[in-house]
Structure 1
Amino acid sequence: LAAEGRLDRDRLLDASLDALQRGFAAFRAQWFGALHEALQPTIDERASRAPTYLALASSPVGATASLALRALAQLDAAGRLDPVEVVAELGPALLAPAKGTARRAITLLAHAVDAAPGCADGASTQLVEALGHPAREVQADALALLMRWCPTPAPALAAVAADRAPGCHPAVRDELARWLDASGGDSGAPSPERRVSARAAPRLRRVPTIADALDPARALAPVDGIDELVELASSAVEAPGDPDDLERLLAGLAACDRTRLRTDGRAATVARRATAIAGRDRPAAQLVARAVVAAFDPPALGGIDDARVRVRGGRSALAIEDLLVARARAVEARLAAETPAPLLSVPTHRGGVLDPGVLAERLARTDVAASDPDLQVALLRVAPDRAGLELLAAALPDDRRATAAVRAWCTAWASVVHDDRAGSVSWSAPTQHHGEYAWCELSVDGIDAAVRSTGLRPMRVVVGRWGGRFAQDPAGVAWMGSIVPWLPSAWARLGVATIGATAGVRDVAHGDVGYLERWFDPAVPWTDAVHLLVALTLDDVRSGVAAAAVDLAVAGWRDGRVDASVLGRHVGALASTAAVTPARWGRTLGEVAATGPDERDAVVEALVAAVAVAEPPRPQTMLALLELLESLVLDTGATIDDPSARAALARCTGGGKTAKVAARLLALEAR
């Protein structure tokens, strides 16, 4: 459309860059970056957006930072970068977790000083912070430039460098000490008395409560008029995203003035686009598009193929993906028929949460069968507050068809939620053999357990790993997750079972990243099963999944929901099987550790816990983890004093690289 002149090219370029600054998770941000690059900006177009690229170079999303630095490199090669702006704005990119990103930023900074030597002092002030980067190569690049620009460092610069010295790689630290000697400064090498135990004092974990989920600040606002409804529908049809917005759209469609809506030219345009999408896009987009068509242009539904989103019958228990489809199709039918009854399951708060009091009000205004999928989703979403459930049960009229079933649900629901959160996850990873072939299967117990209640059809939080409707649809997976906000362990077990073993060659299910979406919400607790899911996805070979897992681990540590030792135990247990490739953790956990001192300490705690329980098939499979642990404890001046971890390190004998790293870790105590 831009090539045809039907869309403003400059607006698309600006909007795609603006989206990259909105804090989206990595897997969402990648789409906007791909759109921006697909437009193939010219040098002039890039030059006019240089300040935005400079800001994006420090993005926590690796793909976004790489995009920005590539654009800046093109401008640099064309002589279109302002050296003063580069020196002023590029500093945060020097500490990017990815080694390559940080080194490219250093190169740009060096070119800026070459073009404007008067900027050397300002550039040195920025560059000295790169001595705190975890990668030895970044530290070495930074130090080489500092020594070139400032052969005799000023006292203020030397003081900052000395402060960063304890975290430097030993080889870099020696060179740094010689440079600082030229200014009479302290080299900053860690002394024995500064060393501490790698078993950090346990941090108090924050366990989210029901009150957190029902916080008024998390309440969802209804759609405000036709203007917002049309805009929301247009966005959701093209790219279904946040499940809360999809639910707000359904509620807005049900509540709007249809006569006025159908005379709005914008609605007709959206309806035509939705009609085109409804028969050929991914299932989540199809469901949204069909609902929009049902509200905007009901007769058009008859000509749309619904093969991929048909309701399946004949099953004793309703799988969660089928429940989502059945409920969406029921809402679609209600919209097409202009039935005035309220939508029972639309959440009242972010994360798919439904207030029991609001559900009571909705049920009082309608009479539905206990088998109604909208009611079943509402019951899964209702907050398990015992007082609220008692009021809900008491408020139901005795003459309604679903009253007995809802009251039975209210009696048992809080206990079901408690058991889900309190339980530990049990799994196995047996190696299967067929002739000359061998592979590892990751099996999670309890994946088929059904949620049962008197008078209601049993519901199972399970989908087919390869044949599920949403296997290639992250938006659909995230929407499924919003149906079970109070069953975090069940949802995490489903994610683990669906993703499966990450080692070796396997089919790629692009919807898998959607299983991580729920845990970014600070009101959702991290149970034992959630820690297993994050440990597994940190090892994933797919960059989109692994990047999302890194972002998730950082978010969880920063808001206090992660237990580092629990995560570490799952890493160690997985490393004891053939289900994973432990070397990948060396990269992803290193990226987590690079985001800050608290995250670094947490990764050290997790690695010590992993070493303590791991029984790897070959010692060398732990090499990347041990090398990362060594690097981090050298940064902090820590020692390993956990008895189980020390015993595991002592078992690494021989002349190989793994044994040498283990020996160095054990020897730290004597320093």
Structure 2
Amino acid sequence: MSARVVNVPPVDQWDEIRNLIERRHADRLAERVKGLDDEARREVAARLPELLKELRGRFERWDDGLVGYAAVLRVAGAAVLGGAAAVASWLYRREFAPQWAGPDNDVDLVLAVLADRPAGWRADLAERLVLRMRASDDRGMALALALLRETGVEPPPHDPLVAGWADRGPSRLGADPLLDHLLPRLFEAQGVGRVLQWERDPDAGWLGALPALADEGRVKRETLIDGCVRRFLLGGTVIDLRFFVRLHEALDPSPAETAPRARDYLSLLAASPGPVAEPAARCLRACEGLTADELAEAWEALLFRSERKLVRAGLSWLDRSVRRAPALADAAAVPLARAFTADSVELQEKAVELAVAHAAGMGEEGRAAVREAIELLPSHLGRRAVAAFGGGTVAEAEAAFVPPPLPAAPERARRVEPPIESVEELSRSMVDGARSWQSWERLLAGFVTLAGRDRAGVVAVLRPRMSEMLKHPVTSDRYRKESWDRIAEWFWGAVHALTATAPAREAWRRFMPKTTRAAPHLLLLHRAAEVLRAAEEDTLPPLLLATPTHDTGHVTAAELVRRLETVEAAGAKPLAADLQQALLRLPRTPDPEAMERAARLTSPAGRILAAWTCPEVAIELKWRCGEQGGDHDWHSRDRHHDVRLEPTATAAPTGLPLVDLVLGVPRHWDEVRHRDWWPSMLPSHREVAAAYLMPHVLRRFWDETLVGPGQARELARAEGPAGAAFAVVLARILGDPNMPGSVEVLLEVAARGELPADEIGRQAGLLVASGQVRMIDMIAALDAAARRGAYAHVWRIAATALPVLLPAPGERPRNGLAGFVTLAAVTAEWCGARGEIPEVRDMAARKGNSGLLREVRRLHDLLTGDGGGTGDGSGTGDGGGTGDGGGTGGTARTDGTVGAGQEG
């Protein structure tokens, strides 16, 4: 077999070309390769892959050094490769530019070396490059557009090409050979709207160029207007359509231009995005040739939308049209009836006002449509409509909803599982670890009880496993740390100490954190540390005292006495932190029989228990903002994202260091762990547990996990005063739409008569005023609670929040405030509340006729007039609860009134 002969260019030519590539002289290379004949080009093409492989081998895979050779390699390949497909593949090889590379800077050189190719070949290359495009900023976009312009061929239909053409701006647009091809596609191709979404200046960019071309006659106005309308009909997001809305506004179609497209504009009113529906309605409103049926269709579509601006525009259009042509009153009846369902009382009132004003012109069919919708109105508006249209639907509507009684509160506490009772179960539970406070308490109690009952048996089962763990880097790393912050680390340390496999002794002394921790977390660490020490020193008691008996975290007094009797009988000493945690878990209600038994105990721990009474703690809560921690003017419109809640506690010392530390609520700590466990550690001090959660109530970082309904429910089932700290937790979860369980928590606390409604109102007002929660979300939650039986409590919440939320004279009201006042008025009417609120009275006296002012006046009339409600007012005097030293937001009276609030 004869050897295959490979033709190569003369050595001097190839060396020269290779040298230019090596030295990256792209411009000189372009001149040189244009002088090669066909045979030499084929031979260079054969050498290029080998050179590329050699160059690639000089760099690691993650190194982008090859990118520096991209321009010369692309120029060389474009000049010498034969087919258009080969050139297209070569030009955009992945290694020539990583994903983060910018646009190509060698387009002119590539075009120069392609200039002598046949026109058909270059058109083929242009089409291939176009179809490779995947985005408007694709690397090959500039070359593809340039080749299309040079060849004059019609571009293939490809959306990224149109978006890329738009993205490069309208420079010399009138002379662009692509204009006639791509302009119609500008209104259809996906991605164009996002590319042009930032165009704002009507005198510059596309917004200036396209109308200018229409004025010059280069393109037809009809083409542009039809294009915009066609794009609107295709649909899309607000971002996709934003540019086309602005172009439509720049074109400003005349009534004569609108009339032929009226049917299209009408179809946009019902479901298109608001920024599209608004100009469509404006064009139709200026169009004089619409029939009564078309007008009714337009009004009905607008009045059923959720955007209040569009509903207002529709009502105004309807009113003006009917005043000019009274015969249209009948066509307006059904649209006005639709507006009775608006989510704004202001809009409902306007719709009723127009219906009453034009009632005389309506036929019987139109009047019947209005009468059927009256039951959807609030009673005060329904009465006005009935006076004009007749019927008895208002009485039916008023009777349609009767606030139900509060649901019964669920059982406050249930018995928990007993501690682990076998070494096998202990070994299995060690794998799962402490995933909750319940599993941690069972694990710790089982370890102590089993080790005290059969230390040798526990060691025999666990030692092989613990010896094996010593080989794992995690175990060795644990003993090289400065401190142990996780209770799991302390538990494994205790097991190592019990089985004599610990790499170091006295871990209980070495690894306690030196810096400040949250007091409940410190209590957890001390409990775990003393178990480790007792395991190491062989002084474990026969059982632990603080293991809860109920799922609230409580330990019954009788059980605690029994446990101390067992410890005394064994001649052992209880662990100090364990005893203090057990005392904090005793119920607030005394158990005389258990205390009588405790008095017979002889140990120091028994005497402490016999003398124990639940300490009273006063919690004061202040809102602060700014670096200096100053009080904030909550009537200010500024939203401060650096606001924080600062609790302080006042409690008589008990002489027990950990108890005093926890009940003292230190103001600052460095690290927080096991936050979800804290309510179970303080089940008789609800307000203290809530105070520790204050740093996690307000959002500081976008990814922060806030206090949620789970912790709020545990606080709800705890005992003790419910004041400002608990109130702000409840108010915060009520204002979070991602916490749907919040209403159930409020109902549960209200059913027990423990809801601090006044304080919740004050804290809810501050949360809304500070921008931490949205008004609309707070309204939704409170409305749901009211309709499920807590209407009297919701009235008190709303009444106490209003002084915080109502704007000062000259200040712009917060979004949604009219809806909050409406909620207050509805719940006040349901429970027959009476009594003047000074802030409501003062605002009702201001000049103006806005929807907010009308709602404020209605509330004021309800509270001070004779026709405000039907209840006896007694419903607002129960379920109060005052702050645990935190101040009150208003004084609830048994006659249903609310007095002025005072800050604690």
Q: TM-score range by the shorter chain?
A: 0.5 to 0.7
Structure-2 separation of matches of 1:309 and 1:536:
42
Residue of structure 2 in register with 1:327 after alignment:
527
8 Å CA contact 1:492–1:530 kept in 2: the answer is yes
1:651 is paired with a residue of what secondary structure?
A: helix
8 Å CA contact 1:197–1:638 kept in 2: the answer is no
Structure-2 separation of matches of 1:467 and 1:349:
30
When residues 587 and 172 of structure 1 are mapped into structure 2, their CA distance, relative to the original with a 3 A threshold, is same
Is 1:222 the equivalent of 2:428?
A: no
Is 1:233 the equivalent of 2:430?
A: yes
Structure 1 gaps, min length 5: 1-102, 104-134, 139-164
1:537 is paired with a residue of what secondary structure?
A: helix
Larger Rg over CA atoms: 2
Residue of structure 2 in register with 1:532 after alignment:
727
Is 1:248 the equivalent of 2:438?
A: no
2:503 is paired with a residue of what secondary structure?
A: helix
Matches within 5 A, 1:50-89: none
Residue of structure 2 in register with 1:460 after alignment:
662
Residue of structure 2 in register with 1:484 after alignment:
682
Shift of 1:326: 0.9
Is 1:286 the equivalent of 2:486?
A: yes
Shift of 1:302: 3.5
**Larger RCO of the pair (alpha carbons < 8 Å, separation 6+):** 1
Correspondence for 1:427 among 621, 631, 637 = 621
When residues 207 and 670 of structure 1 are mapped into structure 2, their CA distance, relative to the original with a 3 A threshold, is closer
Structure-2 separation of matches of 1:313 and 1:266:
28
8 Å CA contact 2:490–2:532 kept in 1: the answer is yes
Aligned letter for 2:495? Answer: A
Shift of 1:344: 2.1
Structure-2 separation of matches of 1:457 and 1:638:
46
Structure 2 gaps, min length 5: 1-270, 272-303, 308-339, 353-364, 380-392, 451-456, 633-639, 870-904
Q: Over residues 225-284 of structure 1, what are the superposed CA-to-partner deviations in whole Å (9 max), with x where a residue is unaligned?
A: 4454344333335xx32x122101111222334145327869968996984896799999
Q: Over residues 378-416 of structure 1, what are the superposed CA-to-partner deviations in whole Å (9 max), with x where a residue is unaligned?
A: 22223342415523422312xx343443333x2xx14x2
Shift of 1:561: 4.4
Residue of structure 2 in register with 1:648 after alignment:
840
Matches within 5 A, 1:309-348: 310-311=511-512, 319-336=519-536, 339-341=539-541, 342-348=543-549
Structure-2 separation of matches of 1:589 and 1:278:
50
When residues 538 and 224 of structure 1 are mapped into structure 2, their CA distance, relative to the original with a 3 A threshold, is same
Aligned letter for 1:326? Answer: H
1:406 is paired with a residue of what secondary structure?
A: helix
Aligned letter for 1:247? Answer: E
8 Å CA contact 2:557–2:591 kept in 1: the answer is no
Is 1:659 the equivalent of 2:872?
A: no
Shift of 1:203: 5.6
Residue of structure 2 in register with 1:372 after alignment:
576
Structure-1 separation of matches of 2:518 and 2:652:
9
Structure-1 separation of matches of 2:726 and 2:753:
8
When residues 181 and 277 of structure 1 are mapped into structure 2, their CA distance, relative to the original with a 3 A threshold, is farther
Percent identity for Structure 1 against Structure 2: 15
Correspondence for 1:357 among 558, 562, 565 = 558
TM-score scaled by length of structure 2: 0.42
Structure-2 separation of matches of 1:434 and 1:647:
30
Aligned letter for 1:396? Answer: L
8 Å CA contact 1:218–1:349 kept in 2: the answer is yes
Residue of structure 1 in register with 2:744 after alignment:
554
Correspondence for 2:601 among 396, 420, 423 = 396
Q: Which moved more, 1:286-295 or 1:563-572?
A: 563-572
When residues 577 and 246 of structure 1 are mapped into structure 2, their CA distance, relative to the original with a 3 A threshold, is closer
When residues 379 and 388 of structure 1 are mapped into structure 2, their CA distance, relative to the original with a 3 A threshold, is farther
Aligned length: 479
Cα RMSD of the aligned pairs, angstroms, is 5.8
Structure-1 separation of matches of 2:779 and 2:814:
13
8 Å CA contact 1:538–1:589 kept in 2: the answer is no
Aligned letter for 2:741? Answer: D
When residues 279 and 600 of structure 1 are mapped into structure 2, their CA distance, relative to the original with a 3 A threshold, is farther
Structure-2 separation of matches of 1:197 and 1:451:
56
Structure-2 separation of matches of 1:596 and 1:578:
19
Matches within 5 A, 1:437-456: 446-447=648-649, 449=651, 451-453=653-655
Matches within 5 A, 1:89-104: none
8 Å CA contact 2:545–2:563 kept in 1: the answer is yes
Residue of structure 1 in register with 2:791 after alignment:
601
Structure-2 separation of matches of 1:197 and 1:566:
30
When residues 340 and 166 of structure 1 are mapped into structure 2, their CA distance, relative to the original with a 3 A threshold, is same
Shift of 1:349: 2.1
Structure-2 separation of matches of 1:202 and 1:271:
63
Q: Which moved more, 1:347-356 or 1:434-443?
A: 434-443
When residues 451 and 327 of structure 1 are mapped into structure 2, their CA distance, relative to the original with a 3 A threshold, is farther
Structure-2 separation of matches of 1:346 and 1:235:
19
Shift of 1:584: 2.1
When residues 520 and 487 of structure 1 are mapped into structure 2, their CA distance, relative to the original with a 3 A threshold, is closer
Residue of structure 2 in register with 1:81 after alignment:
none
